[in-house]
Structure formats: C-alpha cells, structure tokens
Structure 1
Amino acid sequence: MLWLKWDLNLKIRLIGDSLFNMLFWMYFPFMALYFSEAFGKSVASMLMMVPPLVGMFAGLFGGFLADRLGRRPAMLLGSILQSVMFAIFALSPSRWLDYVAYIGVGFGGSIFTPASSAMVADVTPEKDRRMVFATFVTGRNIGAVFGPAIGSVFFIHHRTELLWTCTLVTFLYFLTIYWKIRETLPKSAEPANEKGNMGSLIIKQFRNYGLIFKDLPFAVYIIAGVMVTIAFMQLDMYLAVYVKEYVPAQPLFSFGSWSHSLDSTGIFGLMIGLNGLLFVLLAVPVTKVFEHWSDRNVFILSSVLFGLGMFLMGFTTNVWLLLVFVVIMTVGEVSRSPVTESFISKYAPADARGQYMGASNLQYSLGRFIAPATIFLSTWLPPLGVFGFIFFCTLASVALYVVLFRILPKPKPAE
C-alpha cells in the first residue's frame, strides 16, 4: 500500500507519531539517571516501577474510551494531557512534581495508544495492515535510534528548552487531530449517550474487560506475548549485565599495527545501536518478505529467532559473533511487531477494537514487570543458565502460539 494512497488520518498520524517519538527518546532514556541523582538509586528504582503499572491501567481505560466515545476523543484527551504535563515538567520547581508530571506524560500516552492503533485498523484494508503497521514501527524507531544521541546534549544542557519543545509539539498535534482527523468509530459501537455516573462507567469498563479476558484464545495470546516480552526486554537488562561482567575489551578493527578497540560499555552500545538501526532499516522489507506468511508462522519464527540469537550469546564473548547474534535477534523482533497489531485488529470485533488494543498492551506491561527477574537469577546461575531461561521463555511462547491457532475460531470472510 503506497504512502500516497493512504487515508489522510494515517498520513497525519505517521508524521505526528514519528516526530513525537523522536522527542520522547530525547528525554526518556535519561529519566532513571535524573531521578537517581534526585532521590538516590534505591528510591529511584522503586519509583521507576510505578509508571509501567500506571500505564497498564491507563491503556485499559484508553481502550474503553476509544470504543465508547470514539477514537478521536481518546486521542485528543491523551495528547492534551501530555502537553499539559510537559508544561508542568518545564515549570516545576520540585523533583517530586517532576515525577508526577513524568507519570502524567506516560498516562496520556497510554490513553492515546489504543485509540491510535484502533484507528489505523479502522481505515486500513485487512490485506494492507501489516505494511501500514510496519511503516509506523519504522517511524517510531527512527526516534529510538537518533533521539538518545540528540537527547544526551539537549536533556543534560538544555532540559527546559527540550520540555517546552515537547509541550509545543504535543499541543500542535492536539490541534491537528482536532481540526483534521475524522472519527472512525464503527457505527455498530455502543452509543456514548447512555445514562450513568462515573462509578457505573468504571464498573462497566471492568465488566467489559472481564469478558475480554474470559475469551480463551485472547488469554492464550496475552500469556504467549508476556513470555516473549520477557525475552525482548533482556536487551536492556541481562544483556547489559552480561556484556559488562563477561565481555572483555577487545579490538574491533585492526590493520597492521593500528587497531580500534572497544571496552565492554562501547561493545554494548554498539550492539544496541545496531539493533535500533536494523529495526529502522528492516521493518518494512522484512514485513514485505513475510507478507504472505500466516500470523501463526510469523509469531513462531519470531520467537525462535530471538530466543536462539539470545541463547547463542552465552557461548561467546567475541564482539563480531555477538553482533551476528544481534542481527538474528533483531530479524526475529522486527518480523513480529507489525503482525501483533494486525492480528488484534483482525481478531477483535470492530466495535470493541479499542478495548482489545488496550488489553493487548498488557503483554508488554506484564512482561516488563517480570523481566528484571533475570537479574536475580544471574546471582546464582552462570550466564548460559540465564540465557537458557530466556530461550525457554521464547520456546514457551512458541508452544502457546501453536495452541492459540488450534483453538482460534475460523476467520470470517473479509468485508
């Protein structure tokens, strides 16, 4: 599906989402360090556990709003909340108020995301969804590659100016959504004018999500996603520990008497940089290669490649072999990303798509919450044992995906 043929909603949001994600990655990687300096490492580590939990509930709430009020109102609420919180962060005289604003930014983003994903599915033919989602993944990851490098200058030395820029961009995005984005909520969705107070709405929200999680195929899908997310998160967790503690400084290039060496920190930075760069370069081409593969086979291949690439790292400390394994892992990671949202958009009823998108994000929240367990395991298991546990998680996800597609209802004919 050519970009020029996209719905106007998609064109505006691709540009807006990509720009905002660039700004997001200019401050997000430095927040743990920022709060560690303000409150100390112990307090900061506990404080940083709160945003994923808040985001989990905000995502569920955002999905409910997207199906009840519409995609556009939920996106407007999320974007204006982010803009206000960035402004508070920029004006804040207190580190605690900084923390509240940081949580508020994440809360707004979590409300925005399910409605945004549901709108992509609403306006994109089913056959084109993988490529469209892959393009959005590429836009998001351009920010992940270049944002931290730019932020290392602006967040440290020009933090206030950066936060005001984020405020302005999110506010302009809010105005663009308000003026240019049309509503895409299906007519079959529940009308928003039912009587009831806020308490009854909250009860109804939990009742709706209770029904969703009683959906056996969807529950299996979430558990499989949690298992593979535990593995994905190790790029920023156990892999960093392994490289720092076990990978020695070594030459990357050498010609005669000249050589360029990297220490463990440099090697880890190179691995993460390669992962991010490949994500940007390969998202669309890899999706194109697997365009005619079934969702089942892509999910299975993704889990196997990522788990195998991670497991093989336990056998070597050679920088070039580690980079080869990063390539294997990244191909697995990239192939999965567009299919995840495409699968939910096909599986979820059109009038409950936002809630299913919000509930689907639980796999990432729960996976991120459990993932640090590998650091604990590393205190009494050798590296190969920890990498073996990570590989086991991906193989468990493979088994669950096999079960999922056996119990999945037969697809209805496409409209």
Structure 2
Amino acid sequence: MNWLKWDLNLQIRLIGDTLFNLLFWMYFPYITLFFSDAFGKTAASMLMAVPPLVSLLGSLFGGYLADRFGRRPAMLLGACMQSCMFAVFALSPSHWLDYAAYIGLGLGGAIYSPGSSAMVADVTPEKDRRMVFATFVTGRNIGAVFGPALGSVFFFQYRHELLWTCTSVTLLYFLTILLFSRETLPASARMNRTRSKLTAILKEQVVSYGVIFKDKVFALYIAAGILVTIAFMQLDMYLAMYVKEYVPGQALLSFSGWTFNLSSAQVFGLMLGLNGLLFVLCVLPVTKLFEGWSERNILIMSALLFGGGMFLIGLTTQVWLLLVFTFVFTIGELSRSPVTDSFISKYAPEHARGQYMGAANLQFSVGRFIAPVTIMLSSWFPPVVVFGFILLATILSSLLYVQVFKIIPSSYYERKAEITG
C-alpha cells in the first residue's frame, strides 16, 4: 500500500509522529541522568517509577475519551498537553517543576496514543493494517536510532533550545491535526454517546474497562504480552549489565597486523546500533515476508525467537556471535510490533476500539515494572540462569498465545456485540 495513496489523516500522523519521536529520543535517554544529578540516584530511581503508572492511567483515559468523544479530541488534548509541558520544562526554574513537566509529557503522550492507533484502524482496510502499522513502527524507530546521538550533544549543551524546538513541533502538529484531520469515530460509537455528569462518566469508564478485562481472551493476551515485554526490556537492563561485566574488550576486525578493538561498552553500543538499524531497515520487509502468516504464528514465533536469541547470548562472549544472536532476537522483536496493533484492531468492537487500544498498553506498563527482577536475580545466579529465566518468560508467553487462539471466538474477524454498562 503506497503511502502517497493513504488517507490524509494517516499521512499527517506519519510525518508528525516521525518528527516528534526524533525529538523525543533526543531527550528521553538522558532524562534519568538529568534527575539523578538533580535529586541523587536513590531519589531519582524512586521518582522514575511514577511516570509509567501515570501513563497507564492516561492511556486508559485516552482510550475512553477516543471512544466517547472522538479520536480527534483525544489526540488534540494529548498533543496540546505535550506542547504546554515542553514549554513549562523550557521555562522551569525548579527541578521539581521539571519533574512535573516530565510527568505531564508522559500523560499527554498516553492520552494521545489510543485514539491515534484507533484512527489508523478506522481508516485502513483490514488487509493493509499490518503494513501500515509497520510503516509507523519504522518512522518511530528512525527517531530511536538517530535521536540519542543528536541528543548527546543538544540535550546537554543546548537543552533550552531543544525543549523550545519540541514545543514548536508539537504545537505545529496540534494545529495540523486541528485544521486538516477529520474525525473517524465509527457510527456505532456515535450512537452510544449521551450527555452525562462527570461522576456518571467516570462510573461508565470503570464499568466499560471492567467488561473489557473480564474478556478471557483479552486477559490471556495481556498476560502473554506482559511476559514477553519482561524479556524485551532486558535489552536496556540485564543485557547491558552482562556485556559490561562478562564480555571483555576484544578485536572486531584484524588484518595483516592491524586490529580494530572494541571495549565492553563499545560492544554493547554496537549491539544496540545493530538492533536499531534492523528496526529501521527490516520492519517493512519482514512484515511483507510474513504477510500470509496468521497473528497466532507470528506472535508465537516472535516470542520464541527473542527468547532463544537472548539465551544464546548468555552462552558466549565473542563479539561476532553476540552480533549474530542480536540479529536473531531483533527479528523476533520487530516481527511482533505491527501485529500487536493489528490484532487489537480486529478483535475489538468498533465502538470500543480506543478503549481496547488503551487497555492493551497495560502489558507494556506491567512488563516494564516487573522487568528489573533480572537485576536482582543476577546478584544470586550466574548469567546462564538469568538468561534462562528470560527464555522461560518467552516460552510461557508463547504457550499463552497458543491458548488465546485456541479459545478465541469465531466472531474474531467480525465486530463484537455492543458493550453495555
């Protein structure tokens, strides 16, 4: 599906999301260091546990907002919040205000995300959704690859200029959505809208999400996603520790007495660089390659490839083998990304699509919260046991996916009955 033939809403979103993610990755990798310098490492570690929880609540609220009032209002609110919070961050005279602005940024992004994903599903034919979602994954990862390198200069030397640039870009994106995008809320959702007091709206939201989480298929899907997210998060957690402590500096290339040596930190940087580069270059080709595969088989294969690749890393310290196994687990990781949104967009009923998209983020929030357990395990057990734990999490995840698709209702590709309070 040629992106030039996409709906205008999708074209606006692709360009805006790619630019914003580039700016996001120019400050995000360094924000923990920034607050560690301001508050101390212990206090910063506690403070950084709060934003993911706030974002989870924001995601649930954003999903409800997208289904009740429309995709555009939810996206506009999220983009406006982000622009305002960047301005507050730039003007802030206090580190505590910096921290409040950072929480506000996460909240704005969380409110924006479910409506944004639901809009993609609203305007994209079902047969094209995987490739469209894969294109958005590619755009996001362009920022993830180039942003940290640029941020290493701009965040520390030109922070205020960077924050004002982020303010301007998000404000421009807000105005573009306001002026040029159209509402895509399905008619079935519009029929359910009624005027209610705030207390009634909050009660309705609680009831709606209660119904969603009682959905056995969806609950198993979330549990499987939590387990595989625990594994995915080790790229930034235990893998970094393993390479630093166990992988010695060594020659990457050697020729006629000339050698190109890497330190442990450089080996890890090379692994991260390969991971990011593969995401940018291979998401679309891999999605196309597996176009004929079912969601079931891709989700199972993805979990097992990632877990297997990570486990193999724990058996070697040789740089070229580490890069080969990085390639293996990255293919597992990137093959999953477009399928997760595609699955939810087809499984969820039209009028509750935003809420399902928001609730699906629970797997990432809970997974990120549990993931540091590997650091604790590493103080008691050797690397092979820790990597074995990561492999076990992905195996259990794949078994849950098998169960999900075993009990999934025959109406999976049809619209579900209306959720009532």
Q: TM-score, normalized by length of structure 1? A: 0.99
* Compared CA separation, residues 92 and 192, structure 1 to 2 (3 A): farther
Amino acid at match of 2:323: L
Amino acid at match of 1:138: T
Moved over 6 A (4+): none
Q: Which moved more, 1:259-268 or 1:25-34?
A: 259-268
> Partner of 1:73 in structure 2?
73
SS of aligned partner of 2:331: helix
| Alpha-carbon distance between aligned partners in 2 of 1:224 and 1:116, rounded to the nearest angstrom | 24
User: CA contact under 8 A between 2:346 and 2:413: conserved in structure 1?
Assistant: no
| Alpha-carbon distance between aligned partners in 2 of 1:5 and 1:118, rounded to the nearest angstrom | 19
SS of aligned partner of 2:189: coil
Amino acid at match of 2:157: H
> Partner of 2:418 in structure 1?
none
* Compared CA separation, residues 404 and 87, structure 1 to 2 (3 A): same
Match runs of 1:338-377 below 5 Å: 338-377=338-377
> Partner of 2:314 in structure 1?
314
Q: How many residues align?
A: 415
User: CA contact under 8 A between 1:249 and 1:261: conserved in structure 2?
Assistant: yes
| Residue 17 (structure 2) pairs with residue 17 (structure 1) | yes
* Displacement of 1:367: 0.3
User: CA contact under 8 A between 1:141 and 1:276: conserved in structure 2?
Assistant: yes
SS of aligned partner of 1:253: strand
Q: Which moved more, 1:403-412 or 1:352-361?
A: 403-412
| Alpha-carbon distance between aligned partners in 1 of 2:242 and 2:206, rounded to the nearest angstrom | 41
| Alpha-carbon distance between aligned partners in 1 of 2:388 and 2:274, rounded to the nearest angstrom | 23
Instruction: Summarize deviations over 1:349-370 as a string: whole Å, max 9, x none.
Output: 0000000000001100000000
User: CA contact under 8 A between 1:69 and 1:192: conserved in structure 2?
Assistant: no
Instruction: Summarize deviations over 1:352-393 as a string: whole Å, max 9, x none.
Output: 000000000110000000000000010101000000000000
| Alpha-carbon distance between aligned partners in 1 of 2:308 and 2:2, rounded to the nearest angstrom | 34
Instruction: Summarize deviations over 1:285-330 as a string: whole Å, max 9, x none.
Output: 0000000000000001100100000000111000110000000000
Amino acid at match of 1:16: G
* Compared CA separation, residues 325 and 259, structure 1 to 2 (3 A): same
SS of aligned partner of 2:254: strand
User: CA contact under 8 A between 1:85 and 1:102: conserved in structure 2?
Assistant: yes
> Partner of 1:182 in structure 2?
182
| Alpha-carbon distance between aligned partners in 2 of 1:28 and 1:80, rounded to the nearest angstrom | 19
> Partner of 2:55 in structure 1?
55
SS of aligned partner of 2:253: strand
| Alpha-carbon distance between aligned partners in 2 of 1:411 and 1:270, rounded to the nearest angstrom | 46
* Displacement of 1:344: 0.2
CA-atom RMSD in angstroms = 1.1
User: CA contact under 8 A between 1:68 and 1:191: conserved in structure 2?
Assistant: no
Amino acid at match of 1:245: E
Instruction: Summarize deviations over 1:204-254 as a string: whole Å, max 9, x none.
Output: 111110000000000000000000000000000000010011000101111
| Alpha-carbon distance between aligned partners in 1 of 2:412 and 2:355, rounded to the nearest angstrom | 20
* Displacement of 1:411: 3.8
SS of aligned partner of 2:185: coil
Match runs of 1:100-119 below 5 Å: 100-119=100-119
* Displacement of 1:197: 2.1
> Partner of 1:222 in structure 2?
222
Amino acid at match of 1:166: C
> Partner of 1:287 in structure 2?
287
Sequence identity percentage: 68
> Partner of 1:140 in structure 2?
140
| Alpha-carbon distance between aligned partners in 2 of 1:32 and 1:342, rounded to the nearest angstrom | 32
Amino acid at match of 1:107: L
Instruction: Summarize deviations over 1:376-415 as a string: whole Å, max 9, x none.
Output: 0101010000000000000000100000000001146669
Amino acid at match of 1:315: L
| Alpha-carbon distance between aligned partners in 2 of 1:396 and 1:202, rounded to the nearest angstrom | 35
User: CA contact under 8 A between 2:347 and 2:412: conserved in structure 1?
Assistant: no
SS of aligned partner of 2:187: coil
* Displacement of 1:193: 5.6
SS of aligned partner of 1:107: helix
Amino acid at match of 1:374: T
User: CA contact under 8 A between 2:68 and 2:193: conserved in structure 1?
Assistant: no
User: CA contact under 8 A between 2:67 and 2:352: conserved in structure 1?
Assistant: yes
Q: Which moved more, 1:185-194 or 1:145-154?
A: 185-194
Amino acid at match of 2:78: G
Structure 2: stretches of 5+ with no match in the other structure: 416-421
User: CA contact under 8 A between 2:63 and 2:111: conserved in structure 1?
Assistant: yes
* Displacement of 1:191: 5.0
| Alpha-carbon distance between aligned partners in 1 of 2:271 and 2:262, rounded to the nearest angstrom | 12
> Partner of 1:155 in structure 2?
155
* Compared CA separation, residues 414 and 93, structure 1 to 2 (3 A): same
Q: TM-score, normalized by length of structure 2? A: 0.97
* Displacement of 1:45: 0.4
| Residue 246 (structure 2) pairs with residue 242 (structure 1) | no
User: CA contact under 8 A between 2:346 and 2:412: conserved in structure 1?
Assistant: no
Instruction: Summarize deviations over 1:248-306 as a string: whole Å, max 9, x none.
Output: 01011111221111111111111011100100000000000000000000001100100
| Alpha-carbon distance between aligned partners in 2 of 1:324 and 1:281, rounded to the nearest angstrom | 17
Instruction: Summarize deviations over 1:5-31 as a string: whole Å, max 9, x none.
Output: 110100111000000000000000000
> Partner of 1:299 in structure 2?
299
> Partner of 1:271 in structure 2?
271
> Partner of 1:207 in structure 2?
207
| Alpha-carbon distance between aligned partners in 1 of 2:387 and 2:413, rounded to the nearest angstrom | 42
SS of aligned partner of 1:188: helix
| Alpha-carbon distance between aligned partners in 2 of 1:210 and 1:52, rounded to the nearest angstrom | 21
Structure 1: stretches of 5+ with no match in the other structure: none
